[in-house]
Structure 1
């Protein structure tokens, strides 16, 4: 890009409403950028300047979003971490990040005070400057620091905003953690690029699921992003509400992100709320979400939708011949942050290996599984995703997770963890599973063990931490 997209956005009409808060008061685009400029100048007074990194641990707030813009204006890299991350884990990451300082809620409040010299010059946005170092969730291993520049994130946001048809009439509900990619990219940068309005809601949690729809209805939300786990939880809690169904009928789109959307969950969501849950595909390393289903595709429960012309994907040839999904975009990450510098895991042609399997047909991406989703048992390949999707169709379960554990004889055994639905006993669940699996799976695919658990260990956005399930319940 020849000019910074962020700088262009700052020149839009200043009275445009960017944020709507829970109590109804609003923040304009001009107000956001003015507050960000003040924060950037305050950082300069503290000796923080271009190229520095800041470790950020703060709960959701409008100040945190403003701070991210301030980092862009000052050409500083923000490294947001989960505020609930154990201190020992943070200490290890600090060694890798080497931050200039720690930004917490108290620091944000101090930076927000309008006391900086308004005449102090700012470096201003720069597409080449490192902006975000976003750590992966680490559900299967240690988190990785994914480095993005201002240019890569803003170009990706512009591309996905167009794919998902965001515009000035769009009203997005923000309820994801703001240290997480979707909370930064899907719910802040994409609407910022599109000129949409953002409603700042409560962070999604078990405590507020019963009242989840109140703020979206009150503020006229028409664009929503959910994880599959969130979507399933909302389905389970739903009780007939015609006014809610009327509200949902006005939505431009409801998108599923962050993990695999099993067809059984998509179908249940549609049956419950009479609107499709449209999946997208992407990973943080390639710039975030790069595909999205159309309304009709969301009802077919098949592809992950179309991708933009600037994106190149290499995969299998058809459904019978899936292959590893390799992606190349103009908005790839700069690399992984390591203690010795940046590591760039791209092949000779600049493609990134996603670890997923699938194929491309008619400009649409079909994902058939992950490389580690296929495990060998008794010399045969077993799809854990196939079993998990089937188990989720059982009304006797609230949640399901299927894993493989090493076995001396079989190579791997298949273990199905489940949280029982309310009022369901183990015998009822096991009998229902026996009938379902017997009719739909080969004998070798049937789980070797069913384990009922009271809850699943999860990341802050609802991804099940499978390694914790295994360590807690299979020793």
Structure 2
């Protein structure tokens, strides 16, 4: 059978049929085996009643079968709706209702490889422009949104970004991010797939399994490794407790994604681990990552914008970044399950603040991570970087709030290190702000908290931090 979707993937897999795609423990799955397994999974889903155009909710932990399932849905013209496998039953039911899901897969016991590996009829329905993926945003500063991406744009964006990164056939990418997260599917699955690379499938990164991370790094010797700034900072602080061999980390191309790479964290990782991190920047609404920087990138640089993508700065909106991309998602998922289409004739307002120096983009934070206090624009990201650089506490975040007199002001929330007295740390932070900032830029309050609420990928949920202090 020939169809746009089948021909698209067949061209990728047939050319590399015997090459390794998945590395998982002692198991190796070739491109040809992976494609065959995806077809068998698709036939199993069809026998369970799944049809072209259906939305399928997926709440599973990292395993090779997860990625095979993603290819099966892509071939079948079905829309994958990945969610955190740790969400509550109430949250899962709400998601099922919002997306109008035909099927919800929360256990690998629900999957099976059919004996039939023929191409089912649903593969011939529709084209590459139909919905493929609904990614729910992290909701770090507001309510999560369902972002609907087409099959063609998702994989075209991955091909373009991987080319800019320099990925080559046969190179290994370590997959240690949640597979329901956009980076877990875009950077760690689609990018190596589109360049003929291999994917080492590992458990998702967590503070409880750092020893396993170093073991996986030693086992697979990856060429590419993605770390969020939070991951990078935790490795720098803890690697000596694991007597880790730093050579595999130092030889890999380490790329930071997910949130702003503070200069203090970049410098700390360089000094402690001997690793120069490459920054990148992306937005789910625009397909994924669209900039990549060098190891020598300056503070708050996210690198060069890749060809085909245009970036603009709206000075009238405090320097907000606007982007026009051919890889733009279809739109947001509405409350009734319909798609609220983006206006593709207008550049996308990212909500991020930045500036351009030639073709190099610098991003200093979200508009919501900046405030206007008495008319003066204050970057909360730069406040946080100042604290990180002073190394006075385990973590620190600045959170804006409305103020009757100033219009806006902000509080600082910090987590003291184990064994340190919160009040002494608070006093040290106040001295830092008093000596390092003009009075108008100083925080309103400085609070100690036990921990920072986070998304599953490690991003701080700033809208929730203040509740713990209260």
Q: Same fold (TM over 0.5)?
A: yes
Matched, 1:203 2:204: yes
Compute the displacement of 1:316 (Å).
Answer: 5.3
Normalising by structure 1, what TM-score?
0.92
**How much does 1:13 deviate?**
2.6
Q: Does 1:223 align with 2:224?
A: yes
Q: How does 1:214-293 map to 2 (within 5 A)?
A: 214-239=215-240, 244-251=245-252, 253-293=253-293
Distance 1:174 1:57 in 2: 17
Aligned to 2:92: 90
2:337 maps to 1:337: no
Structure 2 vs 1, CA of residues 323 and 119 (structure 1 numbering), >3 Å: closer, same or farther? closer
Post-superposition Cα deviations, 1:314-348, rounded to whole Å, max 9, x if no partner, equal 1158xx9972211111111011111342213437x
Aligned to 1:311: 309
1:82-126 deviation line (CA, Å, top 9, x unaligned): 1122232333322221011111224xx443333346475451594
Please give the secondary structure, in 2, of the residue aligned with 1:393. Answer: helix
Secondary structure in structure 1 of the residue aligned to 2:208 = helix
| 1:145-195 deviation per Cα after TM superposition (whole angstroms, max 9, x unaligned) | 111111011100001101111112421111111111001111101011111
Give the Cα separation in 2 of the matches to 1:291 and 1:243.
31
Is it true that 1:130 corresponds to 2:136 in the alignment?
A: no
The answer to whether residue 62 in structure 2 is matched with residue 65 in structure 1 is no
* Residue ranges of structure 1 left out of the alignment (5+ in a row): none
Question: Contact between 1:72 and 1:126, CA under 8 Å: does it hold in 2?
Answer: no
Question: In structure 2, what is the Cα distance between the partners aligned to 1:350 and 1:316?
Answer: 13
1:207 partner SS = helix
The 2-side partners of 1:350 and 1:343 are apart by 15
Is contact 2:448–2:469 with CA below 8 Å preserved after alignment? no
Distance between the aligned counterparts of 1:378 and 1:227, measured in 2?
A: 34
Q: Does 1:56 align with 2:45?
A: no
**When the two structures are aligned, how many residues end up with a matched partner?**
464
Deviation (angstroms), 1:202 = 1.6
Per-residue deviation, 1:48: 1.4
Q: 2:440 aligns with which of 444, 447, 452?
A: 444
Q: 1:397 and 1:83 mapped to 2: Cα distance? A: 32
1:369 aligned to 365, 369, 372, which one?
Answer: 365
Which of 459, 462, 468 does residue 458 from structure 2 map onto? 462
User: How far has the Cα of 1:132 moved from its partner?
Assistant: 0.5
Q: Which residue of 1 aligns with 2:142?
A: 141
Range with greater deviation from structure 2 (396-405 or 410-419): 410-419
Does 2:349 match 1:346?
Answer: no
CA distance in 1, matches of 2:129, 2:250: 42
TM-score (norm 2): 0.93
Q: Residues 183 and 205 from structure 1, CA distance in 2 versus in 1: closer, same or farther, beyond 3 angstroms?
A: same
